[in-house]
Structure 1
Amino acid sequence: MKESQYETIEQQMTPPPPYVVNVLKAFFVGGFICVIGQAISFFYMIFFDFTEKTVGNPTVATMIFISMLLTGFGLYRKLGQFAGAGSAVPVTGFGNAVVSAAIEHRTEGYVLGVGSNMFKLAGSVIVFGTVSAFVVALVKTVLVMLGVVTW
């Protein structure tokens, strides 16, 4: 059987992916994760006197902590299988990816297994965030110096 014949048979036999269902699952699960984050923000503002400006950091830290716990118990993987990108896009997906890498390589030891593999992902995200923040600040500073934007 030639390769082109095989591809033709494969296309005929493979069912079409349920794009609409997958998009709806991702949309609603990602949205629900964001609703939980908003509820946590309101909780911090009501009970701990945070303002809208200062509530972001503890909310993000709490969301990452929750996703790490769910990953450790094996629940976030099930959510990811159901929702796809809906569970990967919010900040909780970052926490899941870091802990998943640590859990996967724990048999190699704490330093060479957990530490080095956990920071493969986290390190690149932190470096990218730092570099992009520097570039944005540099562009804004130049625009302010030129008088295009006010500080």
Structure 2
Amino acid sequence: MDLPIPVRVAVAAYIIRKNHQGSYQLLLFKHSDCPEAPLQIPGGGVDPEETFEQALHREIWEESGLTSLSVIRKLGVAEMCWCQPRKLISQRHCFLLEGAADLPGRWEHVVAGDGMDAGMVFSYFWHSLSLEFAIPYDLGSFLYPQYIPELYSLVPHPVF
């Protein structure tokens, strides 16, 4: 008899801001402590007593230090099945948020909280997207013009 596959419920934050040229950029980070790790966006697990939006704001604060971001909309749920180190379904509730134009262009933040990444240093920066840009796994599920048109408004689209 097969046991049910555990589900890990998480949130992810696609945070955008309008730069001084009037185009939107996406907030990304690199792991300063783990250079081989791919580019990422803030996010993490949902505690049992939290709503998705509460978890979203807590994770953003723990991982980046940012507060007072406006939720624009929920983008959807990205689901992925992981087989290593054990079989697990990741169910990530993804949101689009906007930060102020005057946020710093780059900064480092020591992750707060009590998660696995606590104490790690994340290096943040804003990135202007192209249609070819991608981030790995389920984090890139919504990086398309139909989900976040704000990021692609000045990007030339291919003609078919």
Taking structure 2 as the reference length, the TM-score comes to 0.19
Q: Which protein has the larger Cα radius of gyration, Structure 1 or Structure 2?
A: 1
Q: In proportion to residue count, which structure has more helix? A: 1
Taking structure 1 as the reference length, the TM-score comes to 0.20
Say which structure, 1 or 2, has more relative contact order (CA 8 Å, 6+ apart): 2
Q: In proportion to residue count, which structure has more strand? A: 2
